[in-house]
Amino acid sequence: MAAARRPAASRAGRGAVTIEDVAKAAGVSRQTVSNVLNAPARVRAGTLTRVQAAIEELGYRPDQSARSLRTGERRTLAYLAPVDSPSDPNPLMGGFLEALVDAAGDEGYRILLFRPSPGTLDSRPAIDEVIAGRQADGFLLADVLRSDYRVDHLVRAGVPFAVFGRTDPGLPQHWVDLDNKSAMRAVAAHLAAQGHRRVGYLGAASELPWTADRREGFRVGLRDHGLEGTSALEPLDPTDPADTVEAVHALLRSSQRPTAIAAASDMLAVTAYEAIRAAGLVVGRDVAVVGCHDIPLCRILTPALTSVRLPLRTIASGLVARLLAQIRGERAPGQGLLLPGELVVRASSSRVVEA
């Protein structure tokens, strides 16, 4: 057999089992095999099982390239990997990608990772490249800004896409987002329930929309429960811990020293831990702390950090569902999906404060 003669790379390249091989083995024509795969209803039961047996036997899978060329479907979704600043990588990116691969895989789609070519800031050429090369049926984006030129570009290109986050209304888009406001309201509610009256907020300074949303949500939460908020601080450079430490110290030194601090992210919360300790106070006893994102570290810290968990799998499947609905031309399952975060209460905020 020719196939057996080829030593290496035999299966991957030429010489792989084709639809013709299956047809021959099952004693039918190519077309019947194709029907078995794409329109089983048209095939008589007997033939069906016989062909399926042959497929199984030979380990046949349709060549994706051939199928794509014919149908125009790529069965691939392109994910634009965020230009992750090496200084502040997203520890959840790995988990999110896995969730994405699983969600897409459930629907028979694959995930193609792409990025702007190194050294380039503009993602548009990279997007155009994928479109022009017909490498994907649609696009997935994360970390979308209020006004995002990438979304703009995809809209113009007339290509299906879905985003995690969302721009200002005005641009048509299918999106999934964490309900940042409600999440932070819930944090405020939790702190109120624990008996806290004076609480501080440690915000991040970033153009990502959740920055403002979380602060606003927290503000509303304070009002809901008649809490007294020490001023919401905006460290200038969230990647510089010294800056954040200074901000926390300012909070702690204030005449109205808060008994709890809510941070806009877990990383900020960690810095708050350090600052609180440096001030001679004990986290969880003197000052409660709550973070956001629920990165793995939260469980490792002492005390373990209360945080808002991102429903990564739900986000991923929501994105895939919305994107596929467009690709298939179905009515979308609602254009946007606002997901609640899950408050995971741990030791950093579980002590009840006396009035």
x/- string (CB under 8 A) for a second copy, residues 11-40?
xxxx-xx-----------------------
Stretch that binds DNA, among 60-68, 110-118, 123-131, 224-232 (CB under 7 A): 60-68
- Determine, following the binding rule CB under 8 A, whether residue 333 of this chain makes contact with a second copy: no
Nearest-5° angle of CA 167, CA 210, CA 120?
60
Instruction: From the list DNA, a second copy, none, pick the one residue 142 interacts with, judged by a Cβ distance below 5 to 8 Å according to partner type.
Output: none
Question: Is the Cβ of residue 53 or residue 66 nearer to a second copy in the bound state?
Answer: 66
Token readout for 63 is: 């060549």
Candidate ranges 31-39, 201-209, 261-269, 287-295; the one touching DNA (CB under 7 A): 31-39
Size of the site for a second copy (CB under 8 A): 83
Of residues 68 and 90, the one with the C-beta less far from DNA: 68
Cβ atoms of residues 310 and 283 within 8 Å:
no
Spatial neighbors of 275 by CB under 8 A, at least 6 apart, are 244, 245, 248, 249, 252
User: Would strands 342-344 and 307-309 be described as parallel, antiparallel, or unpaired?
Assistant: antiparallel
Tell me the per-residue interface mask from 63 to 82 with DNA, x by CB under 7 A, - otherwise.
x--xx-xxx-----------
Q: Contact 152/139 with Cβ under 8 angstroms? A: no
Task: Please say which residue, 37 or 305, places its beta carbon nearer to DNA.
Answer: 37
Cα gap 46→40, rounded to integer Å? 11
Please report how close the Cβ of residue 96 comes to a second copy at its closest, in angstroms.
Answer: 8
As measured in angstroms, the least distance from the Cβ of 353 to a second copy is 23
28 is a site residue for DNA (CB under 7 A) = yes
Rounded Cα gap, residues 313 and 212, in angstroms: 25
Cα dihedral 151, 154, 158, 163, rounded to 10, equals -60
The count of other CB atoms within 10 Å of the CB of residue 252 is 21
Choosing from 47, 135, 206, 350, the residue that interacts with a second copy (CB under 8 A) is: 135
Question: What gap in Å lies between CA 85 and CA 73, rounded to an integer?
Answer: 34
Q: Of 29 and 239, which CB lies nearer to DNA in the complex structure?
A: 29
From the list a second copy, DNA, none, pick the one residue 294 interacts with, judged by a Cβ distance below 5 to 8 Å according to partner type: none
